[in-house]
Amino acid sequence: MDKRLGVFLLVTIILAVIVSPFASGLPDGLERVAIDLGVMENEAEPLFEVIPDYSLTFIENEWISTSLSGLIGLLICLGAVYLAWKTVHVLKGKKKIQSGT
Amino acid sequence: MHIPDGFLSTPVWTSTAAIAAVGVALAIKKTKLNDDASKIPLIGVTTAFIFAAQMINFPVAGATSGHLAGGLLAAILFGPWMATLIMTAVIGIQSLFFQDGGITALGANILNVGIIAPWFGYFLYRLIKNVKSQKLKLTGIFIAGWISMILAAAAVALQLYFSGLVPLGLAMKAMVTWHSLIGIGEGIITVVVIRYLMVRENHLIPASGGIKHG
């Protein structure tokens, strides 16, 4: 593996797993504006919850909960790209067989 | 600036969803993922990096917080079509798995952060892409990142206004003001990452900028 790709991946893992619990809890830009304009209460409850707000509800320790959520998120991202690539690969392969090339 | 469920009116979320769907469909057509097999690991790590970086909110002026959006970063590395796909993946995963950004607002969020930010940012980047001076080029990338964040924020303000939620002037002023501060972070992080991946050595990403993209 290219060294820089490795470093990039390492930084990514460090951000998601180690740094993420230290993220600022202040309202983000849109939330700040929504609060100031008095429309924050319009926010609807999500239709369903998987890992709401990057916390695993069955883990009490907030840090571990956020860290693990980050790690799960990374795996989903990598998995999604791999699946997308595989899908394209398979579809292209089929096309080639059909067109006889 | 992920819009949650409940902020957008039905006409706004359906029409932004339709525009985003067309954009993503075009992006799928235009990017030939299969042709760039050697770039897949970097695309994967970049997607994961953007997801991770979006978890890291930095405090701004003691009143708000912001994080990298990443659209311009992806556009410089892989071209704007691929950037739209990468951002769509990140925003979709955040919404579906982490309830960060509403399901009904998914289209609007993809339009703002996955289409408007990377495309306008990339357009600005193209203007300075070929300058010889490395300093000037990195300054250009910083400005493009900063503006990409402000434009996405302005789009959010418009959508909230069209939803009948907020007055246009107030919302626009507030969104643009806060995100012109948060956008400084966008510019800095984009410059740092691009500098590391592109400038130090040139075999990972061609110096001419990006991989082949249609």
Q: Which two tokens stand for residue B86?
A: 């990468």
- Closest Cα in chain B, distance from residue A71 (Å): 9
Which pLDDT score, from 0 to 100, does residue B196 have?
Answer: 93
pLDDT tens, position by position, B123-146:
999 999 999 999 999 999 999 999
Q: Worst-scoring range by mean pLDDT, A1-5, B41-45, B152-156, B188-192?
A: A1-5
Mean pLDDT, all residues of chain A: 92
State whether residue A57 sits within 8 Å of chain B by CB.
Answer: no
> Most B CBs within 10 Å: which of A77, A87, A94, A95, as the mutation test of the B interface?
A77
CB of B36 closer than 8 Å to CB of B212: yes
State whether residue A38 sits within 8 Å of chain B by CB.
Answer: no
Q: Which residue of A has its CA nearest to B3?
A: A30
User: Which residue in this structure is represented by tokens 């556009």?
Assistant: B75
What ipTM does the predicted assembly reach? Answer: 0.93
pLDDT tens, position by position, B96-120:
999 999 999 999 999 999 999 999 9
Chains A, B: CB contacts within 8 A come to: 190
Which pLDDT score, from 0 to 100, does residue A89 have?
Answer: 80
B60 strand-pairing partners = B64
Nearest to B6 among A30, A44, A54 (CB): A44
pLDDT tens, position by position, B178-211:
999 999 999 999 999 999 998 544 444 544 444 4
Q: Which two tokens stand for residue B108?
A: 């609007």
State whether residue A44 sits within 8 Å of chain B by CB.
Answer: yes
Give the pLDDT mean for B4-13. 98
**Is residue B32 predicted with pLDDT exceeding 50?**
yes
- The sign of the CA dihedral A66, A47, A36, B151 is positive
**Concatenated DSSP letters for A43-100?**
PPPPS--SSGGG--TT---HHHHHHHHHHHHHHHHHHHHHHHHHHHHHHHHHHHHHHT
pLDDT band at B12 (very low <50, low <70, confident <90, very high): very high
Q: Which two tokens stand for residue B47?
A: 């997607």
Q: Which two tokens stand for residue B151?
A: 């434009």
Taking contacts as CB-CB distances below 8 angstroms, the residues of chain A near B43 are 81
Give the pLDDT mean for B45-69. 98
pLDDT tens, position by position, A24-37:
999 999 999 999 99
Q: Worst-scoring range by mean pLDDT, A49-58, B127-136, B147-156, B191-200?
A: B191-200
Which pLDDT score, from 0 to 100, does residue B212 have?
Answer: 45
Which pLDDT score, from 0 to 100, does residue B35 have?
Answer: 63
**Is residue A100 predicted with pLDDT exceeding 70?**
no
Taking contacts as CB-CB distances below 8 angstroms, the residues of chain B near A78 are 44-45, 47-48
B65 strand-pairing partners = A28, B59
Per the model's pLDDT, the better-predicted residue between A47 and B127 turns out to be: B127
Would the CB atoms of A26 and B59 count as touching at under 8 Å? Answer: yes
**Is residue A93 predicted with pLDDT exceeding 90?**
no
The amino acid at B200: R
The Cα–Cα gap between A73 and B169 comes to 37
Which pLDDT score, from 0 to 100, does residue B99 have?
Answer: 96
* Residues written for chain B: 214
- Of the candidates B173, B162, B179, the residue with the CA atom closest to the CA atom of residue B7: B162
pLDDT band at A90 (very low <50, low <70, confident <90, very high): confident
User: Which residue in this structure is represented by tokens 């309202």?
Assistant: A27
Mean pLDDT, all residues of chain B: 92
Report the 10 Å Cβ neighbour count for B81: 23
